[in-house]
Amino acid sequence: MGIWVETDQNNLKTTVFSLPRTKSSLSGEEVQWAAQNGPTDPQAALDAHLAINNPPTDGPLFAYKDGDRHKPLTKTIFIKTLKNTARAAGYDAVQGHGIRIGVTLEYLLRGVPFEVMKVKGRWASDAFHLYLRKHNQILAPYIQAMPAGMAMEFAKLVMPPMH
């Protein structure tokens, strides 16, 4: 279960874990996060997972209890569980890619700059712009802080084409 904490020169901590493989990297990759305030704190979610599921140290980090044994959490089971939970709570179910887009939107609405989100989301291109919604809310802090001419140029760059 490869998970560790790294501390930078400013004493800021990030948690890192290894994924054995991903859709875009069959040899795996590292995923990082920093603790956050509120209900979206990934550290609190990990702590809850470890307390509830107590995954074996020699098995997958994201294993869950199924009776008296552990099963590795697969993408299929994860998405199915999210859909069922969303429906039970009265929300529309989202697809896997929609989760990533939703997270990107949430951070942009919190004022995280586009270039930072591109790095955070490991986006290889600017294609994620095509999936975003609430453009006016995302752009408001940037547009209101720019002279009028610059704001129009910025909007042309980040707004999807009208169809």
39-57 pLDDT, tens digit each: 888 899 999 999 999 999 8
In a domain, 47, yes or no: no
In a domain, 136, yes or no: yes
In a domain, 105, yes or no: yes
In a domain, 130, yes or no: yes
- Cα dist. 120→17, 58, 92, 104 in Å? 15, 29, 26, 9
pLDDT confidence of residue 154? 61
Count of domains in the chain? Answer: 1
Residues in the chain: 163
In a domain, 119, yes or no: yes
* Maximum distance among all Cα pairs of the chain, rounded to whole angstroms: 64
Model pLDDT for residues 71-111, shown as the tens digit of each residue? 999 888 988 988 898 899 998 877 767 777 777 888 877 77
Q: Cα separation of 160 and 47, whole Å?
A: 39
Which is more confidently placed, 153 or 8?
A: 8
**In the numeric block, which tokens belong to residue 71?**
């099963």
Question: Of the ranges 9-13, 18-22, 71-75, 93-97, which one carries the lowest mean pLDDT score?
Answer: 93-97
**By residue range, what is the domain housing residue 162?**
94-163
Element (H, E) at 65: strand 63-66
Q: Give the pLDDT band of residue 142 (cuts 50, 70, 90).
A: low
In a domain, 1, yes or no: no
pLDDT confidence of residue 8? 93
In a domain, 83, yes or no: no
In a domain, 68, yes or no: no
| pLDDT higher than threshold 90 for residue 5 | yes
| pLDDT higher than threshold 80 for residue 134 | no
Give the pairing of strands 3-7 and 69-72.
unpaired
What's the pTM value of the predicted model, to 2 decimals? 0.66
